[in-house]
Each structure stands twice: as C-alpha cells, then as structure tokens.
C-alpha cells in the first residue's frame, strides 16, 4: 500500500532561500538513492510566505522507514533546524486503490 506524507515546515523570516537550497540538495539525494520514493516535492504556500509543504509518496512502509534512516536525511536535520521556525507538522496518509 502506498503511503503519502505531507510535512508542513515554517521557515524563519528571511531564511527561505537558504531553506530551499538545503532542501534541494536533500531532494537530489532522495531521488538518486531511494527507488521506493515515488514523489518528493517541495511546495510553497501562496498565502503564507514562510510556509512550505513537502509532498511525499512512498511505495510502502519499508520505503518510508528507509528514508528516515538515511545518513543524508539525518545530516539535513541540523541544517534545517537552523532555518525553521518550529517543529515540522507531519501527516501520514494511506493510499487508496
């Protein structure tokens, strides 16, 4: 069963470009090394300038677990922590069909 993830990330004022650069590097690693990741897309709110959402799709729970355990994901944590304005809000979704 596919698993969807929506992560809402609030970024500190003026830190958007730095956040986007860090995330772009992370996304390259995810796409290159995780065949079970079907989508990993950063989006930016049209109404809240410092709010981003990551839209993720994994083929199964094993693929999602692998993603969270990778060295590059763990290494991105402290970098992202320096630009975020709070803890991410993460919602997990089960695919239908």
Q: Supply the CATH number for residue 56's domain.
A: 3.30.70.100
Residue 9 pairs in a beta bridge with 52
Residue 45 is predicted with a pLDDT of: 98
Summarize pLDDT for 55-95 with one digit per residue, the tens.
999 999 999 999 999 999 999 999 999 999 999 999 999 99
The answer on pLDDT for 97 being more than 90 is no
- Domain tally for the chain? 1
Residue 86: other Cβ atoms inside 10 A: 10
Summarize pLDDT for 2-34 with one digit per residue, the tens.
999 999 999 999 999 999 999 999 999 999 999
The whole domain housing 32 covers 3-94
* H helix runs in 12-96, sequence order: 16-33, 61-69, 71-81
Predicted TM-score (pTM) of the model is 0.92
d(CA 76, CA 1): 27
Asked if residues 27 and 80 have their Cβ atoms less than 8 Å apart, the reply is no
């Amino acid at each position: 069963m596919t698993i969807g993830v929506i992560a809402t990330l609030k970024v500190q004022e003026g830190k958007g470009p730095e956040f986007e650069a860090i995330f772009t590097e992370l996304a390259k690693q995810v796409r290159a090394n995780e065949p079970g990741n079907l989508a990993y897309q950063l989006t930016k709110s049209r109404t809240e300038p410092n709010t981003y959402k990551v839209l993720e799709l994994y083929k199964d729970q094993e693929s999602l677990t692998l993603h969270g355990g990778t060295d590059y994901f763990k290494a991105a944590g402290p970098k992202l922590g320096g630009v975020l304005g709070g803890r991410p809000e993460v919602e997990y979704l089960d695919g239908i069909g």
